[in-house]
């Protein structure tokens, strides 16, 4: 059965609202996802489902909309996709917690990096449905302006690595 990682937008850090991870786990189990595990408080959940990626994404987003009154935005990636995202991360000189991966609902447009304002030396690279951004001074202090990031949800490379490890371990367990 495929293993998926769901990354929720703005949960517990933005306008979407508060969602204890125990409640997120219960919602996923209520959707009949298997082997549900959450990771940290920012809306990350790993699980198995025989359903397609698109179906899982739609069902989870709709279930969360019932809680929040609006769809928060759910980005689903397979275990293989997450592994590739980690393996192909650019900017090898960047500290992993200063390299953020923004997960997008669809492939970034070809002009996604046009008009990027990077006053603090930020670097960005588009790779399909992800945008990698290196924040030399940290994302919290950065004055980066990149409109393409607004459509997605970001995680630092340490978090992405951990989620990839969790997904691989779940897949190995069968």
Share of the chain above pLDDT 90, in %: 85
Average pLDDT over residues 44-61: 96
Average pLDDT over residues 159-166: 97
pLDDT tens, residue by residue, 133-146: 999 999 999 999 99
Q: How many domains does the chain have?
A: 2
Return the structure tokens found at 113.
């990096």
User: Does 171 reside within a domain?
Assistant: no
Q: What strands lie across the sheet with 153-156, from one edge to the other?
A: 123-127, 130-134, 99-103, 153-156
Q: Give me the domain span that covers residue 103.
A: 85-161
Q: Are residues 112 and 131 in the same domain?
A: yes
Give the per-residue pLDDT at 39.
Answer: 95
pLDDT at 12: 59
List Cβ<8 Å contacts ≥24 apart for 78-81.
Answer: 78/2, 78/3, 78/4, 78/5, 78/53, 78/167, 79/2, 79/3, 79/4, 79/5, 79/164, 79/167, 79/168, 79/170, 79/171
> Does 170 reside within a domain?
no
DSSP structure class, residue 96: G
- CATH number of the domain that 15 lies in? 3.30.70.1280
Give one DSSP letter per residue of 143-171, joined into a string.
Answer: --B-GGGGGSEEEEHHHHHHHHHHHHHHH
Q: Is residue 173 part of a domain?
A: no
Pick the last residue of a domain from 81, 112, 143.
Answer: 81
pLDDT for 15 beyond 70: no
What would the mean pLDDT of 31-35 be, rounded to a whole number?
97
Higher-pLDDT residue of 2, 10: 2
Q: Do 31 and 62 have their domain in common?
A: yes
Identify the pLDDT of residue 26: 96
> Which percentage of the chain shows pLDDT scores above 70?
96
**Residue at which a domain ends, from 81, 101, 124:** 81
Residue 14 has pLDDT above 60, yes or no: no
pLDDT at 16 over 60: no
pLDDT above 70: residue 6: yes
């Amino acid at each position: 059965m495929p293993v998926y990682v769901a990354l929720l937008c703005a949960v517990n850090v933005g306008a979407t609202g508060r969602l204890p991870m125990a409640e997120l786990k219960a919602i996923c189990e209520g959707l009949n996802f298997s082997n549900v595990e959450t990771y940290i408080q920012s809306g990350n959940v790993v699980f198995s489902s025989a359903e397609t990626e698109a179906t899982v994404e739609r069902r989870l987003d709709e279930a969360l909309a019932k809680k929040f009154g609006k769809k928060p935005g759910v980005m689903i990636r397979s275990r293989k996709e997450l592994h590739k995202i980690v393996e192909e991360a650019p900017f090898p000189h960047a500290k992993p917690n200063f390299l953020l991966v923004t997960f997008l609902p669809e492939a970034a447009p070809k002009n996604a990096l046009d008009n990027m304002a990077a006053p603090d030396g930020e670097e960005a690279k588009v790779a399909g449905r992800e945008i990698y951004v290196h924040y030399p001074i940290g994302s919290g202090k950065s004055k980066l302006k990149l409109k393409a990031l607004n459509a997605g949800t970001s995680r630092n490379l340490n978090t992405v690595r951990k989620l990839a490890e969790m997904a691989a371990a779940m897949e190995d367990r069968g």
